[in-house]
Structures are given as structure tokens and as C-alpha cells.
Amino acid sequence: MSKRALRYSLVAMIAFLIGFGMVRSPSVHAATNERVLLVYDSQNTTAKANQKIATLQRALTSLNLRVKTIKESDYQSGELTGYDGVITMINWPKAELTNHQFVRDRQKFKGIKLHIGDNLTSAEAAELGVKQHRIYQQQLILKNQGTSQLLPFSETMTVVDRLPKKAKTIGKLSTQQANQKTTSYGLIVGKTGYLPYFSTKGLSLLAAVQTLAALFGRTATYQPLLTISNVTPYSHLKNLDRLSRYCERMGIPFAISTVSVSQNTELHAFKVFAAYLRRVEDRGGIVFIQTPIVGGATAANAQELNDMFTSYLVSLARYQVYPVGISAPGYWNQDRVLRQNSLKKADHWLLLPNTSDQTYLKQDDNAQTAKMSLLAVSASSLNDVRQTENTVKFNSPTAVTVKLPDTATQVHNTERQLQQLNYSWLDPAVNWQTEFISGSTDVEYQRGNYLLNGQRETVTADHVTTATSNSGTPNQQVLFKGFFKLQGVLIAGFFTIVLVVMLIFIYLGRRIYRNMFRR
């Protein structure tokens, strides 16, 4: 072979290896490239409408839809170009839409359109082919596919009737009077839909997701994944042990969402924490690593966040704990820096409700998708859903969450709650294939088996020796909290120096003053 041919062969081989993925990253691309523009009128925090926006974002992500969120007043002419769907969300009915460019573009838009809330325009009603009217002072019952739930009291609501024959409805809203009056909840006519309201929990949320799924052509149904949330190294881990043992005994597959630490992982307390997590894995449970609380950080701290997740993965894998994915409040997917340096490391996400405070590093409101994103729904919001046997339907990947109990009594209550829900739970060991890569560490979960950097690993559950540091005080590691600690030390030092200088000046001044009157 000539030198030139050899050189070309080497170049071709290098190009092949790079293209094949010598430096691998998890498969976090969407199965489709469908994009949705979510346009809201107001966050209306007084009515907690900001939580509704965040829940809708998580629901759309769980349906594998990329979502860009903007305020109606910020919309610019032609911005709908390139989107497959547009959702109008009304959170403050007293304020009419004022951006005529958006109203005009939405009316001309040929893709999927959904209106949520009041202020349905006459043009939208005509496109749906319905008549609209308002109802007042009602506490309605939502019924859907053999399930029902009593809704909170509603001051007013816009409902529709005289539906066209081609209309598809999801759920019925019924009054409580003897002569019950009913109206549809979710409505779909062709590529246009309507929801009279949106809720962050319960049967209303499930019916809203079903409407979204039908509108965007998602036909699959899913078994929910039981997930024990609020686990930390400082939790009552014996209660985690009791609850996981109950799940194993009852044949309930489950997951946990836990925070970890990136420092002091050589201490005995961390070994105890890891031992409890190994027991979870040994009993058929899987582990999601939850993102830390963010405080005092900027976009410049991206590498520190990146390194923190590498430390999580390495320190846990050292003790045979192999996380299958990442759990995070929904707003982490609305921030480019947070998303890129955490969520993008895994191809399975568990999207939790937002915490009361959100700290953004570089907010872009441009949610991305993963191989699978699970919508977290609290089990407590489903407790009073009446159903015939196994009639609750989940139309997107869903995690039904229960908080880790603090006491033995609460463990018993949670066990009874799971018995009453009586769901057919998802078993990840049947067909889940996940990957979590951070730094040079690659953890895979292949239908119940764990692989570390391509090598199959065996989880061995051993006896747990309780550490005295396991105080049971729930905490989360706070990202960049040292920023505030350092500020406090510097301020304290500054005032100490000022105080010493002032005392010296007082002493010298007193001496000078006394010397003035000496003879």
C-alpha cells in the first residue's frame, strides 16, 4: 500500500470513529422535532398561575414536544413560523389580549392550536364550530373514562356547547344538582382544541394531558412509575428501608428521587447512605439523582455544576449505586446553563414541580426533550379519584410521587395509600434502557442490569451500620452556598477591623484630651 493510500485510510478510520462516537454522550434527542409555542397572558402569581405554566411545560415535555414559552406582550410578528403548534394560556381573564400581531398570526396559523382558559374569541369559537357561555358559582364534578373527582369551587368558567359532529371530547363536567347538566372538558375539532381551565394536579391534570396527547397525535398509554421523593442523606433512611421492603413484598416496582453530596463522600455517614440505596436497588428499585438547590450562582459557575454531577456519579458508583437518570424541578429545563450541565448528562428525566424559589443562571424558556421525560404527579392529588378497577389512564410517561415518610406511622399510612390507589405500576426492568454520562463515567441500565463503563455490575446489599450523623433532618446540598458564607466571613472581618481601629482612636483621643489640661 502506498503512503498516500495509507494516509487516506487513517483519515477515513479516524473520521469513522469520531462519527460513531469515541466520545459518547447519552441519547437525549427527541423522537420527533415537533415544536410548540406556549403563549401566556400573565403569570398571575396571586392565583398561582405561574405554577400552571410550569406544569403545562412539564406535561408537554413528557409528550416529547419541544416548548418555547413567551409572554403574549413579547410576541413579535411572524414568530409562529417554524412551529407545529401554538397554545394560548389565559391566566388573567380581566385583561384582554393586547398584542394584535399575535392574534393575527394565530388566526392565520395552519398548525395545531389550543386555547386554555377564558376569553375564547369569537374567531376561535367559530373555528371550533361551538357556542360559548359562562357559568358562575359552581363546584363541578369531572368524569372521564370510569373515573371521577369533585373539583374545587369555581367562581366563573367559560364552557362550550352545540358541538359539531366531528368534535372529540375528553371528560365531562357535571353539576351536582339533581338534574345534572353536563358539558365537555377537553374538546378537539380537527387541529384545534379547547380546555376551559388547567389544573396542576389530580384527574383534571390527567385529562388535560390526555387532551394534549390526542391533539398532537400521541396514542400510547403508560403505566405510572411509583416514585419515593424527598430522599436525602439526612433523611430517616430506616423509613426508606421499611417502605422499599414493603414494595418488594407486594411486588410493586418503584423508583426513588434523592439528592446526594459531592464532598465528604469518604465519611462513614455517606457509606451508610449508599448502603440504603443499594438495598433499594437490590429490591428492584431504581435511583434518580435530584439536582441541588441553586443559590448565589451565575452562568460563570457552569463548570462547578458540571463537576458536581460528575462527583455524584463517581462517588455513588464507587459504592455500587448506579443512578438511571436525573430528577429536577421543571424550571431546570427552562435554563440553558442548568439544562446543559445537568439534565443533558442523562437520557431519562423525572420533572418535578417547581420549588417556591427558582434561581436561574441563564433562563431561555426553551425546553428540550430526552429519550423519556416523566411528569411527576403527587399521589395525594389522586387519593379522592373514584374509579372502577384500574381505570385511571396515563397518556404520557408519569411518575406518581409519595414523599419519604418521617415516622413509622407515616410509613403505614403510605402503604395503605398505595393499596387504595391499586395501580398497575411500571416495571423499568421489563424494557427500560437508560444511560447517564458525566465526565469519564458511563452508567447504563439495561432491563434490570447495570453497566459501568460497559462492564456489567452486580449490586450486593449488605448490613447497614447506622451512623450517628444520620439525624433525620431533611436537607439538600445547596449549590454555591459557600458564596454567601464567604461574604459573611468577609463582612464580619471588616467590622471587626473597624471596631478595633475605632477603639484605638478613642484611646488616643482620650489621652490627647487629658494632656491638654495637664500643667
Total structural domains in the chain? Answer: 2
Whether residue 111 contacts residue 170, with contact meaning beta carbons closer than 8 Å, is answered with no
pLDDT tens per residue, range 232-254: 999 999 999 999 999 999 999 99
In a domain, 453, yes or no: yes
Q: Is 247 helix (H, G, I), strand (E, B) or coil?
A: helix
Quote the pLDDT of residue 7: 47
> Are residues 120 and 261 located together in one domain of the fold?
no
In a domain, 477, yes or no: no
> Are residues 313 and 396 located together in one domain of the fold?
yes
> Are residues 311 and 199 located together in one domain of the fold?
no
Whether residue 479 contacts residue 311, with contact meaning beta carbons closer than 8 Å, is answered with no
Quote the pLDDT of residue 18: 39
Final residue belonging to a domain, choices 188, 216, 244: 216
Q: Crossing angle for the helix pair 49-62 and 202-215, nearest 10 degrees? A: 50
Q: Could you tell me how far CA 213 lies from the centroid of its own chain?
A: 18
Quote the pLDDT of residue 176: 86
Residues contacting residue 398 through CB under 8 Å, at least 6 positions apart? 62, 222, 224, 225, 374, 375, 376, 377
> Are residues 173 and 231 located together in one domain of the fold?
no
Name the residue among 485, 479, 484, 477 with its Cα closest to residue 361: 479
Final residue belonging to a domain, choices 216, 251, 279: 216
Q: Could you tell me how far CA 221 lies from the centroid of its own chain?
A: 20
pLDDT tens per residue, range 299-329: 888 999 999 999 999 999 999 999 999 999 9
> Are residues 189 and 242 located together in one domain of the fold?
no
In 346-428, beta strands by DSSP E? 348-352, 366-367, 372-378, 386-387, 398-403
**DSSP-assigned letters across all residues of 254-317:** -EEEE---SS-TTSHHHHHHHHHHHHHHHTT-EEEEEPPEE-S--GGGHHHHHHHHHHHHHHHH
> Are residues 139 and 259 located together in one domain of the fold?
no
> Are residues 43 and 156 located together in one domain of the fold?
yes
Name the amino acid, one letter, at 303. Q
CA distance 469 to 398: 35
Quote the pLDDT of residue 3: 45
Quote the pLDDT of residue 30: 41
> Are residues 424 and 326 located together in one domain of the fold?
yes
Q: How many CB atoms lie within 10 A of CB 174?
A: 14
Give the CATH number of the domain where residue 371 resides: 3.20.20
Burial of 407 (0-12, 13-18, 19+ CB in 10 A): exposed
Name the residue among 264, 165, 201, 196 with its Cα closest to residue 274: 264
Question: How distant, in Å, are the alpha carbons of 175, 268, 320, 447 from that of 460?
Answer: 56, 18, 8, 18
> Are residues 78 and 139 located together in one domain of the fold?
yes
- Percentages helix, strand, coil for the chain (3-state, rounded to 5) are 35, 25, 40
Give the CATH number of the domain where residue 79 resides: 3.40.50
Name the amino acid, one letter, at 85. G
In a domain, 506, yes or no: no
Quote the pLDDT of residue 451: 97
Whether residue 342 contacts residue 332, with contact meaning beta carbons closer than 8 Å, is answered with yes
Phi-psi region at 223: left, alpha or beta (left = phi > 0; alpha = psi -120 to 50): beta
The dihedrals phi and psi of 338, each to the nearest 5 degrees, come to -60, -45
Domain of residue 242 covers 225-457
Quote the pLDDT of residue 23: 38
CA distance 367 to 346: 15
CA distance 516 to 519: 8
Here the cell at position 102 is: 399575535
In a domain, 158, yes or no: yes
Final residue belonging to a domain, choices 407, 436, 457: 457
> Are residues 181 and 254 located together in one domain of the fold?
no
Here the cell at position 189 is: 375539532
Quote the pLDDT of residue 406: 96
Quote the pLDDT of residue 347: 97
Q: Which positions of the chain have pLDDT values less than 70?
A: 1-32, 463-495, 513-519
